[in-house]
Amino acid sequence: MKLKYVLPIAFIALFFSCSTDDDDNTTIVNEVEGLELIQTIVNGNETIELYNEKGLFETGYNMISLRIKDNTTDSYIEDATLSWMPMMQMPTMEHSSPKSTISKAIGKDTVYEGFIIYQMINTDGSGWSLTLNYTIDGTDYSLTETISVMQYGNQNTATFMGSDGTNYILALIEPKDPSIAVNEMKVGLFKMENMMTFPVVEDYTIALDPRMPGMGNHTSPNNTDLTYNNADNFYYGDLSLTMTGYWKLNLKLMNTDDDVLKGEDVTDENEASSLYLELEF
Amino acid sequence: MKTLITVILCLLLSSLGFAQDNNKETKKDTTKLEEVLVLSRRKLSNHRQEKTLSSIDDYLEKSNKITMIKRGNYAWEPTINNMTSERLVVTIDGMQIFGACTDKMDPITSYVDVSNLEKVTIGSGQEGTENGHSIGGGIDLKLPSSKFNGSGFKSGLDLGYETNGNYKATGLDLEYTGNKFFISADGIYRKSDNYDAGGNEEILYSQFEKYNISLKTGYKFSETQSIDANVIYDKATDVGYPALPMDVSLAEALIASLTHYYKPEDKALKSLETKLYFNTITHIMDDTKRPVVAIRMDMPGWSDTYGFYSKAELMKNKHHFTLNLNGFYNKSLAEMTMFSNNPGEPDMFMYTWPDIRTLYSGIFIKDDFHFSAHETLASSIRLGYHNNKIAKEVGVQSLQIFHDTVDDQNNRFLVSLASTYQLKKENYNLSVGLGYGERAPSVSEGYGFYLFNSFDNYDYIGNPNLKDEKALEANFSFKQKFNDFEIGLESSYFHIMDYIIGEIAPDVSSMTIGANGVRVYTALDHASIFNTYVNSSYKISKRFAINGTVGYNYGKGNDGENLPLIKPFSYFAEFNYNTPKFNAALQLDGNGNQSNYSRKYGENETADYAILNLNLGNVFYNKLGKTVLKYGVENILDTKYSTYADWNNFPRHGRNFYLNLSFVLQ
């Protein structure tokens, strides 16, 4: 056999024979590694922990991880079912917001996750509360707690009425960490059926025209319009960003018949669409 | 095309085959085909140069083959055969060095000065491939060779003043030469204010200031071996570019080399020269002096190169072989930060050259075969491996906005071949040559990102998937002497395949505010470039002579469009009076109307012009040494003009009185 085959085998053999048997590693895996605690809510025998990457709620799309701790055993519950209802209290009325269901995070035992899109806040950050309903071993529990939501620096969510008279909510999800590249753009589109119900809008099209107002309304090439993906109920498109800085993502919402519900084309005369999201990096 | 390559290869091989021929004959000096301009100020007593303190740019412009593209009063870009930097190989004594400016504001020639150099070797087309692959030709700026002649201490001082632009130049050089050791140092300082075009029109942002110092030392170990070290530091500050939207606040180069020489006696190997070198360039563009800009920006660029070459000269029978093994590694990085006019918005940043690494290694073999008393067959081949790598991931990603596939690495194998037959008789010379060459795209052509070209007002995007550019070349020159009259013809034709040029990307928005759009580098299927010059001179008497040149150039792509930057009909005439201690020359220099301009690439019709210059020179000898005085008037009639090679037609110097004074002490 040639030396070039013998050598690697010899090395591999040597390596494995030298390695110690540390397979029975029992250190506890931290399932919220990389996440920051937003808030803990004590409810009788349970403590609910809310996490996300930043450790705070902001307007727009929030991916939230939850854990339920059994305060007596000091262990996390692995087989609960959860649901939630965010609520915004306004002077004359109250309303909820688009949200997902809560499900067990993939590959984790104790962490549940879901998203909430806070479409607006009061100027002082107050107004939101979160109701959590959960079931452990057939017993239902419920709690409501005030939460504080910070205003995000840019417009990452748009709430508007379309030409069909429906109120829509559009939220930017990706790119979270944009780069000078063709970025995958992901948005969620919901309509306000009533104050409490915000179903996903399916099969519409969102035309995309990113611009840099600070650069003479420079735009980038090879962007694609966002289309609906029925696998996860979000809209996806390509967003090219040619440099860092402030980008205005001009959008135009079209229904399944291609009627424009909101937004205008950007032209020399019309600098921006009335429907847009913002991005800065 | 394949047939031609075969023919050239056959010629090359057959000439090598003759090496076995044992016919003894007196060896002739090898005839340099290259045009050589002697720059050394020590040789200036021959009065060939109008000014002792001319810049390299001025010197190069005197050559028939070279035209300088001007974006300002400083750092002109040389072109050979109507081809610019990316189609040329410009080296400093065999050292590869690459400008750090994405907008070609710093051609290599701007980082050295006459005081650093001994001569400039210019090779047209494939004759210029000794140091690298090119299509148009090569320029090698030769550093002075080592001397161990024991001539002792020597010094020189140069002073220059020109009225137009209040231009001052000073040069000082000191030299000690022993039998085993030498050291020399020189420095030059130049400063110019804004110059005036014809009719006293001040050209704003045409000022510059620069200095250059160099140090060279050598030691001779034995009769056959010596070593020398050379360092050049060049720094230009406050350089205005009237034809561009930005100026330069700093262009700085450090060029260092260590060379070993081996010159055995009575062997077939005549010399072996090995050099290790490195150079680093920092180039910082600046718009702070411009009162009105669309947006403020910073555009720094850096280029570092490390390399070596080993060059051997062999003489065997009637053959003179040159072998050159060389390699280099270059790192080019440039970035742009723009400061938004809208308060609160973050700075905008991009890499315009996303840290491109170029690794090249190649070998060059040339044989000058003197197969009869008057005839020479010169054949050369260069083979090279060229690798480009995008070191920054964001560079790959940003280019992917424009190109479906962008590999972070690109390998090329490049070939250059040339063969020239030369006949030299007492009254006439004839030379016929064929060549084939390939080149890799430049960093800007391959990887540039939104490089604004103010010439055609487009932003340019590089294309990492470009094919090698290839050229077939034929050249011809002939010179006939009739007593005191001499007439010559030089002509070159290039058929360039996959000619790299920017093509408009429709519907892509420019980045630069106010630009017309975006061009992406792509290639024309083929393009043709042709040039021909007729030179003549007549010696009226021992002291009076006249000479004249008429040139015609042509360049077209396969789409029928004219290529940009093709010189229109040009002429030059000079009336000389020469004595050993005095010379005078009256020159007429002009271009015809540029009717075959390239509208597609932003050119417009540049009007014809003609200017008159008067140059005078005196030499005085005294006990300590000698004094050379050069003086004259350029553009006597104060004509307001610009040439096809003036970026955006900004006008050239109006009337200018100059005076150069040189003292040589020894």
pLDDT tens digits along B498-531: 999 999 999 899 999 889 999 999 999 999 999 9
For residue B548, the domain's CATH number is 2.40.170.20
Residues 6+ apart with CB under 8 A from A87: A94, A95, A96, A128, A129, A130, A131
Look over chain B and give the mean of its residue pLDDT values, rounded to a whole number. Answer: 89
Q: How far is B396 from chain A (nearest CA, A)?
A: 8
Q: Please state the separation of Cα A251 from the chain's center in Å.
A: 19
CB–CB contacts below 8 A, A to B: 88
Read off the pLDDT of residues B31-52 as tens digits, 9 standing for 90 and up: 222 334 433 333 323 334 677 7
Q: How far is B469 from chain A (nearest CA, A)?
A: 27
Q: Which phi and psi (to 5°) does residue B139 adopt? A: -125, 125
Please tell me which of the candidates A213, A221, A244 has its beta carbon nearest to residue B505. A221
Please list the residues that pair with B633 across neighbouring strands.
B614, B657
Q: Is the per-residue pLDDT at B404 higher than 50?
A: yes
Q: Is the per-residue pLDDT at A1 higher than 60?
A: no
β-strands A57-58, A46-52 pairing: unpaired
Read off the pLDDT of residues A124-175 as tens digits, 9 standing for 90 and up: 777 899 999 999 988 899 999 999 888 898 999 999 999 999 999 999 999 9
Does a cis peptide bond (omega within 30 degrees of 0) precede residue A175? yes
Rounded Cα–Cα distance for residues B227 and B273 (Å) = 10
pLDDT at A21: 47
Rounded Cα–Cα distance for residues B644 and B562 (Å) = 13
Contact B342 A213 (CB under 8 A): yes
Q: How confident is the model at residue B169 (pLDDT cuts 50, 70, 90)?
A: very high
Residue A98 · residue A188 · CB < 8 Å: yes
Tell me if A36-150 shares its fold with A157-280: yes
Read off the pLDDT of residues A254-268 as tens digits, 9 standing for 90 and up: 999 999 999 999 998
Average the pLDDT over B135-147 and give the result: 90
Contact B338 A213 (CB under 8 A): no
Look over chain A and give the mean of its residue pLDDT values, rounded to a whole number. Answer: 88
- Chain B hits for A281, Cβ within 8 Å: 346
Instruction: Give residue limits of the domains in chain A.
Output: 36-150, 157-280
pLDDT at A9: 54
Percent of chain B residues past pLDDT 70, beyond the cut: 92
**A235 to A97, A117, A122, B16, B91: CA distances (angstroms):** 18, 15, 28, 69, 54
Residue of B nearest to A280 (CA): B346
Residue of A nearest to B397 (CA): A181
Q: Which phi and psi (to 5°) does residue A192 adopt? A: -95, 100
Number of domains forming the structure of chain B: 1
pLDDT at B15: 45
Q: How far is A6 from chain B (nearest CA, A)?
A: 32
Rounded Cα–Cα distance for residues B451 and B336 (Å) = 10
Q: Is the per-residue pLDDT at B281 higher than 70?
A: yes
- Chain B hits for A179, Cβ within 8 Å: 394, 397
Q: How far is B353 from chain A (nearest CA, A)?
A: 13
Q: Is the per-residue pLDDT at B663 higher than 90?
A: no
Q: Is the per-residue pLDDT at B19 higher than 50?
A: no
Instruction: Write out residues 162-221 of A within 8 Å (CB-CB) of B.
Output: 179-182, 212-221
pLDDT at B619: 87
B198 or A123, which is more confident? B198
Residue of A nearest to B516 (CA): A218
Task: Identify the residue among B341, B348, B512 best suited for mutation to test binding to A, counting A beta carbons within 10 A and taking the highest.
Answer: B348
Average the pLDDT over A187-206 and give the result: 94
Domain that holds residue B558: 2-665
Q: List, in sequence order, every beta strand (DSSP E) within B269-408.
A: 269-286, 296-316, 319-339, 348-369, 375-390
pLDDT at A118: 92
Q: Is the per-residue pLDDT at B6 higher than 80?
A: no
- Chain A hits for B348, Cβ within 8 Å: 212, 214-215, 243-246
Per DSSP, helices labelled H in B63-132 are: none
Contact B401 A215 (CB under 8 A): no
In this prediction the ipTM stands at 0.84
Contact A180 B338 (CB under 8 A): no
What are the structure tokens assigned to B619, written together?
């030499």
Residues 6+ apart with CB under 8 A from A62: A52, A115, A116, A117, A118
Specify the CATH class of A36-150 in words. Answer: mainly beta
Contact A218 B513 (CB under 8 A): yes
Read off the pLDDT of residues B529-570 as tens digits, 9 standing for 90 and up: 999 999 999 999 999 999 999 999 999 999 999 999 999 999
Nearest to A273 by CA among A221, A229, A213: A213
Q: If you write DSSP's letter for every residue of A31-91 in order, what string do you get?
A: TTTT-EEEEEEEETTEEEEEEESSSSEESEEEEEEEEEEETTTTEE-SS-EEEEEEEEE-S
Specify the CATH class of A157-280 in words. Answer: mainly beta
DSSP, collapsed to helix, strand or coil, labels residue A13 as helix
Rounded Cα–Cα distance for residues A171 and A186 (Å) = 9
Read off the pLDDT of residues B341-355 as tens digits, 9 standing for 90 and up: 888 889 999 999 999
Average the pLDDT over A51-74 and give the result: 91
Q: Is the per-residue pLDDT at B326 higher than 70?
A: yes
Q: How confident is the model at residue B114 (pLDDT cuts 50, 70, 90)?
A: confident
Q: How confident is the model at residue A216 (pLDDT cuts 50, 70, 90)?
A: confident
pLDDT at B3: 53
Please tell me which of the candidates B342, B402, B513 has its beta carbon nearest to residue A221. B402
pLDDT at B29: 30
Residues 6+ apart with CB under 8 A from B339: B295, B296, B297, B347, B348
pLDDT at A34: 86
Read off the pLDDT of residues B598-628 as tens digits, 9 standing for 90 and up: 988 889 899 999 999 999 999 888 888 888 8
Instruction: Write out residues 241-260 of A within 8 Å (CB-CB) of B.
Output: 241-246
Q: Which of A25-39, B240-254, B270-284 is predicted least confidently?
A: A25-39
Q: Which of A15-29, B198-212, B261-275 is predicted least confidently?
A: A15-29
Percent of chain B residues past pLDDT 90, beyond the cut: 76
Average the pLDDT over A186-215 and give the result: 94
Residues 6+ apart with CB under 8 A from B133: B89, B362, B382, B384, B386, B414, B416, B437, B438, B439, B440
pLDDT at A4: 53
Read off the pLDDT of residues B244-264 as tens digits, 9 standing for 90 and up: 999 999 999 999 999 999 999
Q: How far is A239 from chain B (nearest CA, A)?
A: 9
Average the pLDDT over A98-111 and give the result: 91
pLDDT at A27: 57
Q: How far is A240 from chain B (nearest CA, A)?
A: 6
